[in-house]
């Protein structure tokens, strides 16, 4: 198919409700150099899409896991940011490692209350509950919660009745403080 003259009429202006292009004037393709044929069918198809033919509508990919959010924080010891601590949400696969001077992020986190456990290789640790009240929310964890404390040592003795087995025994700590 050869044509010496092809004119394309303008369509309407592009706006937020339309994906159509407005040309300032009709295009005359008859001024092609002699001996050249008009554009190929592939070029014409691309040109028509650009000129206002509606392309197929494709749903956008999901932006993240629906119904989730994130926890963000930094791990400290004695006021200094530390590296090498492991941060995890108990009962989930969300885990992170700390880096000195950098924040960590735990995600995806489902809406609700979660227990976060933080520990470093020396045995210092912190454990606290935090709530994600709604989806698409990032909760910044307070430094007071993400500051690691040295492990606590408890010593003492448990007295059992005669002929009693210590298997399955439970000990309760009543009273006291970290300093005593």
- CB 97, CB 84: distance < 8 Å: yes
Q: Taking residues 32-54, what's their average pLDDT? A: 49
Based on the domain organization, do 34 and 92 belong to the same domain? no
Based on the domain organization, do 31 and 91 belong to the same domain? no
Residue 167: C-alpha distances to residues 1, 155, 164 (Å): 93, 19, 9
Q: Is residue 105 part of a domain?
A: yes
pLDDT tier, 162 (very low <50, low <70, confident <90, very high otherwise): confident
- Number of domains composing the chain: 2
17 vs 50, more confident = 50
Q: Taking residues 32-42, what's their average pLDDT? A: 49
Q: Is residue 124 part of a domain?
A: yes
Query: Can you tell me the distance from the alpha carbon of 9 to that of 53, in angstroms, rounded to the nearest whole number?
Result: 12
Residue 107 has pLDDT above 60, yes or no: yes
The predicted structure's pLDDT at residue 167: 81
Residue 91 has pLDDT above 70, yes or no: yes
Domain hosting residue 125, numbered range: 68-146
pLDDT tier, 109 (very low <50, low <70, confident <90, very high otherwise): very high
Query: Can you tell me the distance from the alpha carbon of 44 to that of 31, in angstroms, rounded to the nearest whole number?
Result: 16
Based on the domain organization, do 43 and 77 belong to the same domain? no
Residue 53 has pLDDT above 70, yes or no: no
Residue 155 has pLDDT above 60, yes or no: yes
Based on the domain organization, do 41 and 107 belong to the same domain? no
Residue 97 has pLDDT above 50, yes or no: yes
Based on the domain organization, do 74 and 139 belong to the same domain? yes
The predicted structure's pLDDT at residue 39: 47
């Amino acid at each position: 198919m050869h044509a010496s003259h092809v004119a394309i009429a303008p369509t309407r202006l592009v706006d937020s409700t339309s994906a159509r292009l407005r040309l300032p004037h009709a295009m005359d393709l008859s001024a092609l150099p002699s001996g050249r044929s008009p554009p190929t069918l592939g070029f014409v198809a691309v040109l028509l899409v650009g000129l206002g033919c509606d392309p197929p509508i494709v749903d956008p990919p999901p932006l993240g896991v629906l119904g989730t959010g994130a926890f963000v924080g930094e791990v400290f010891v004695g006021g200094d940011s530390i590296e090498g601590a492991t941060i995890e949400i108990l009962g989930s696969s969300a885990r992170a490692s700390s880096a000195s001077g950098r924040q960590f992020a735990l995600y995806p986190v489902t809406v609700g209350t979660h227990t976060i456990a933080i520990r470093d290789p020396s045995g210092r640790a912190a454990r606290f509950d935090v709530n994600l009240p709604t989806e698409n929310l990032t909760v910044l964890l307070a430094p007071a919660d993400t500051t690691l404390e040295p492990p606590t040592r408890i010593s003492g003795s448990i007295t059992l009745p005669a002929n009693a087995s210590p298997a399955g025994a439970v000990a309760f700590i009543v009273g006291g403080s970290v300093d005593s």
